[in-house]
Chain A
Amino acid sequence: MIRFDNVSKTYPKQSRPALRDVSLDIEKGEFVFLVGSSGSGKSTFMRLILREERASQGMVHVLGKDLARLSNWKVPQMRRQLGTVFQDFRLLPNKTVAENVAFAQEVIGKPRGEIRKAVPQVLDLVGLGGKEDRMPGELSGGEQQRVAIARAFVNRPMLLIADEPTGNLDPQTSVGIMKLLDRINRTGTTVIMATHDQNIVDQMRKRVIELEQGRLVRDQARGVYGYQH
């Protein structure tokens, strides 16, 4: 699914690499937590998978493709198989819930009939059935994140990337979001989630990858957030 071979990334005009010599494999259907303090390289790791950035050294394979050799115009095709969720939801404030979800399908040219069928379905899945016509501003944070997840999942991606999806939510709402991500994971979708939320990581007991100053310092199946120092 995802393979990093000795990947390093140095941003232009910066001496310290954001990622150093990271190698790992993530298999299809896995649920992986990505932990580490701010500046440890989590975001760079995500951006490399999304091919928002290219690796300075080493090889990144996503969905069996070498991203270094993927030409620019093929990147959109690759991204259609990935879903992304962010801490700040990134919804369009002037579109309804249903329109926000449909947007992800419209811009990749899905036929209207398919969109009309898929949107209510995925909104039901994330627990927002009946709120299709609400505006994002009328929803709670947890509900907005559910809309974002619905949008990320509506195209049935192979891989869901979540960058601190619970970062703006209270613990109880976070649990709901985690249950939802777990449910999505059970449909066979690989989930990679960057987080600072210790409780969630400890409860879920999934694979944990820890980065520290750009280095991979821990890769643990059924791990917890951190060793007790």
Chain B
Amino acid sequence: MKTSFVQRMDLWARHLMPAATMLLLVLVSAVPLGIPGYAQVSPAFTLMAVFYWAVYRPDLTPPSVVFLTGLAEDLVHGFPLGLTAIIFLAVYGVATTQRQTFLTKPFFIAWGGFVIISFGAFLLDWTLMSVFSLAWIVPDTVLARFGLTVALFPAMAWLFVRVHRYLVR
């Protein structure tokens, strides 16, 4: 069956949505909101997107896209180049191998999975950064950030589900 040019463009645009949400969240997470203390503990929105799409649509988010998202995050936030790319690829790798456990189960199973995997991600992030800067980085803000990220995951997942529904429609 032949599809028209417009249809193909439409499909193409829909398939770009997961990558677009990830890149958009990179920018959004850097915007100064003026909430007291927010900048110190701003949740890792992009990490949530990486996890969600790795579990539900890994076909639309190949590792190269995840890698580029990580690089973008490093550039915008001024982290050492490649650091977040490593973290995102690690989360993506674990999430894609475990996705069968989350797919047909209720949402809180996926949430539990996210808690475990993101804890590993924050731990890796903290270790790499400490080694990179050869200094002991006080882990309290890392923990606060982890807590906030985990707590906000359902809200963001709700948003991703909307995008996801738009994709398959």
B and A form one assembly: no
